[in-house]
Amino acid sequence: MPKTEVILTHNIVGLGAESDHVKVAAGYARNYLFPQGFAIPLTGANKRRIEALRQRRAEREAHEFNTMSELAKGMAKLICLVKVKTGEDGKMFGAVTAGTVADELKHQFDISLDKRKIHLEHPIRTLGEHEVELRLHPEVTATLKLKIESTTPLPPPEPPAEARGPYRPGERGPAKEGEAPRRTEKRGRRPETKPAAKGEKTEKTAGEKPEKPTKSAKTEKAEKSAKAEKAK
C-alpha cells in the first residue's frame, strides 16, 4: 500500500501532534485526514505553516498542563463512592474497572475523564478503601480515593459467649442479696389431674390409714351424763 507524508494540523492520539511529519497510507490521508482538516500534504508551501502550528501546539500543551494540574489538586480531596452487589459471604459480583471509575466521576462530580488515564493494575474485586493512580498528563499524575461499598450489607455478627452470659434466652440468673430465689426453669402448664372415682384411692391417699372422726363437745357431754346415770 503506497505511503504519503503529511503535516498534522491537530493532535491525533496514536499518530502525532500539530506540526509533526508522519507517513500514512495514501487512502487514509486522502479519504479522512485531508477532508477533516487534520493534516495537509507535505509541500514547500505548507512547510511555511509549520512554525505557526508549533506555536499553537505549545499553547495547547501549556493549557492542558495547567488544567490537569488544577484537576489533580481537586481530585486529591475527593472520595469516589462505588456501590456494588455482593453475595451473603461478602464477595463481589464482578469487579470495578477503569470504565466504572470514569462513569462514577462523571455521575458524582461531573468530571469527564478518559478511562485510559485511570491506571489500574488489575480490576478491583474487594470491598473497602482503595487508591487509584490517575495519569492526567505526561507530567501530571494524581491519586484518587475509592470507597467500595455493598448494596446488600452483611448481617451483624453474633456477640461472643462472654457477652451473652451463661444463661440461655428466657432464663434468669441467680437472685441478688435480699431477693426471693429466681426460677431458672422454663414455665409451662401444670399437668391436669382428674378427680378420683368413687371408692378409688388417689395417689395422695393410697397406702395411708384413714383418720378417725373426732367427737364433738356435745357428744362427749352426753356420754358422760349416760355413764353417771348408769353408775347410780
* Residue-wise pLDDT tens digits, 183-204: 555 555 665 655 555 555 554 4
Architecture of domain 72-150: Roll (3.10)
For the stretch 5-41, pLDDT in tens is 999 999 888 898 888 989 999 999 999 999 999 999 9
> What does the pLDDT average to over 155-160?
66
Task: Delimit the CATH 3.10.430.100 region(s) of the chain.
Answer: 72-150
Query: How far is residue 140's CA from residue 122's CA, in Å, rounded to a whole number?
Result: 22
Model confidence pTM above 0.85? no
Residue type, 128: G
E-assigned strand segments in the chain? 3-8, 21-25, 39-41, 79-84, 118-119, 128-137, 140-150
Among 147, 143, 148, which Cα is nearest to 74's? 143
Task: Delimit the CATH 3.40.5.10 region(s) of the chain.
Answer: 3-48
Query: How far is residue 32's CA from residue 9's CA, in Å, rounded to a whole number?
Result: 13
Fold of 3-48: Ribosomal Protein L9; domain 1 (3.40.5)
